[in-house]
Amino acid sequence: MCIFCKIAAGEIPANRIYEDDELIVFKDIAPIAKIHLLCVPKEHYARLSELTPAREAVLARALRLIAENAVAWGLGEGYRLVVNQGENAGQSVQHLHIHILGGERLGWGE
């Protein structure tokens, strides 16, 4: 079982801030911004190329969940979503996840 499947199954701890039957949101263990959350579909798959209509619906819901909770999660001044895919992006966990970055002014191309 991959590390995010273990977190979803409650087998290893994580600093969870939201959970339902399809999605989990927890704090990244090695934050690269003042606020760094991960929004993870509980179903295991690694790539956007593996999307199906059902997975697509969960991801769309993930985006709405993030938007609806942005203020509550301290992201009211703005945030950035990142989905690393594959080797060149440095994807280190092969279970699809959305990075949610914010809580400060984020650099871009500097």
Among the listed residues 18, 19, 28, 65, the single contact to ligand AMP using CB under 6 A: 28
C-alpha angle 96-99-102 in degrees, rounded to nearest 5: 170
Helix, strand, coil abundance in the chain, percent, nearest 5: 25, 25, 50
* The binder of ligand AMP chosen from 90, 107, 108, 109 (CB under 6 A): 90
Q: 13 vs 53, which CB is nearer to ligand AMP?
A: 13
Using an 8 Å Cβ cutoff, are 104 and 80 in contact?
no
- Indicate whether 3 belongs to the interface with ligand AMP (CB under 6 A): yes
Among 30, 49, 53, 107, binds ligand AMP (CB under 6 A): 30
